[in-house]
Structure 1
Amino acid sequence: MAQAMKNGRATCSTCGKESIAYKCGGCSQDFCFSHLGEHRQTLSQQFDEIETDRDQFHQALVQQKETPKRFPLMEQIDKWEEVSIKKIKQTAEECRQKLIEYKNKHLIEIENKLSQLTEQLKQSHQENDFNEIDLDRFKTKLAKLAKELNQPPNSMIQQDSTSTLTPIPTLQPHSSKLTRLCAGKETCTRIMSL
């Protein structure tokens, strides 16, 4: 258990005296016999503090599990949800209106093109002036109009990366002991902030 430095002695890190010393396996410091006990007592006190902190954390966890709906910030989250849903519905309605406007403009354009084609067909029929090339051209124009009717150009939904929603507020722990226990631990951070 004791490690000899020179002549079987080492300097105690607490009192600085050279004597038979015992090296601590945790901090690697040397202690004389009387200060070794004090060092162990300090370690025991620190261990007791950790157990007390764990007990307090366990009690807070049990309380949260027993009354999740009565958590003080639950109202804030409910209000955020309500406002966000209202904004989403409003944005969706605005998008529907824009889509209807776009569709109506698109249908008017197709209708105008169809009127032009109808006039060309009437004129060619009245004058009895058409051949296979004209018939292919009329068929192609009509097929193109049908395709435009079924697949409007540039019609797709793009999601805007800049959201109009306000992000949910981040919760901060109120207990300094919880902060100390959770500092730097990813899972604890996820529990403490939404």
Structure 2
Amino acid sequence: MAMANNKTHCFICNTEKITYSCEGCSKRFCLTDLTEHQQLLREELNHIINDYDQFKQRINERKQNPQNLQSNSLLKQINQWEIDSIEIIQQRAQNCREIIIKTSETFIYDIEKKFNDLCEQIKQIHKENEFNEINLNYLTHELIDITQELNNPSHISIQRDSQSFINEISIISSKRIEKLYFIRGH
């Protein structure tokens, strides 16, 4: 009785030998090449385990310091938005200060001019020594008016605009949307 021929070609060495099937890739290998194939699979598994361990370590590091998430670049964008917004506010405040100073200077100049005019009228009346109650009442009321205008300047005030002049930012996540209203014009 003849021995049965159970030899097939090995996928690696392509020689006719007794081969064994790998259930993962469905290829047939001789014993030597099957051993080598299994060794390669073990090495690939070790790489996967190593990658897994590194990934787990990264997750643990980020859990300990959540600011190191991918959000680090997002935090930089928020920080830049904050800086830009503060600069806009500071510039707007500086412009308002300059307007107040210029307006106040003009206001004081106008008050002083009114006062000097009144002073000239008083000198003139005193010099001519011709006056009556009407003149005195007029001078008194003018002085009171100028004094009140100096003490209570009603020509300038601050008006707040309810419209925001700072660009608002939003954080958009697949989980939720949080709109940030850090700075408004009121």
TM-score category (smaller protein): 0.5 to 0.7
| Aligned counterpart, 2:93 | 92
Residue 137 (structure 1) shift: 1.5
Residue 136 (structure 1) shift: 2.0
Residue type matched to 1:124 in 2? Answer: I
- What is the Cα-based RMSD across aligned positions, in Å? 2.4
- CA distance 1:163–1:128, change in 2 (3 Å): same
Equivalent positions of 1:4-153 (< 5 A) are: 66-71=64-69, 72=71, 73-153=74-154
Structure 1 segments of 4 or more deviating over 2 A? 63-71, 160-164
Equivalents in 1 of 2:157, 2:131: separation in Å? 39
- CA distance 1:129–1:173, change in 2 (3 Å): same
Residue type matched to 1:152 in 2? Answer: P
Equivalents in 1 of 2:136, 2:159: separation in Å? 40
Is the 2:171–2:177 contact (alpha carbons within 8 Å) kept by the matching residues of 1? no
Secondary structure of the 1:171 match is: strand
Is the 2:85–2:166 contact (alpha carbons within 8 Å) kept by the matching residues of 1? yes
Equivalents in 1 of 2:133, 2:115: separation in Å? 20
- CA distance 1:167–1:135, change in 2 (3 Å): same
Equivalents in 2 of 1:66, 1:159: separation in Å? 44
Secondary structure of the 2:86 match is: helix
Residue 83 (structure 1) shift: 0.7
Equivalents in 2 of 1:64, 1:162: separation in Å? 39
Q: Which structure is higher in strand share?
A: 2
Secondary structure of the 1:79 match is: helix
Q: Cα deviation per residue 1:16-59 (whole Å; 9 max; x = unaligned)?
A: xxxxxxxxxxxxxxxxxxxxxxxxxxxxxxxxxxxxxxxxxxxx
**Structure 2, unaligned runs of 5 or more:** 1-60, 181-186
Question: Structure 1 vs Structure 2: percent identity of aligned residues?
Answer: 37
Secondary structure of the 1:69 match is: helix
- CA distance 1:155–1:172, change in 2 (3 Å): same
Whose relative contact order is higher, 1 or 2, with alpha carbons under 8 Å and at least 6 apart?
1
What's the TM-score, normalizing by structure 1?
0.54
**Structure 1, unaligned runs of 5 or more:** 1-62, 179-187
Residue 64 (structure 1) shift: 8.7
Residue 165 (structure 1) shift: 1.5
Aligned pair count reads 118
Q: Which has the larger radius of gyration?
A: 2
Equivalents in 1 of 2:87, 2:151: separation in Å? 33
Residue type matched to 2:146 in 1? Answer: L
| Aligned counterpart, 1:44 | none
Equivalents in 1 of 2:147, 2:63: separation in Å? 61
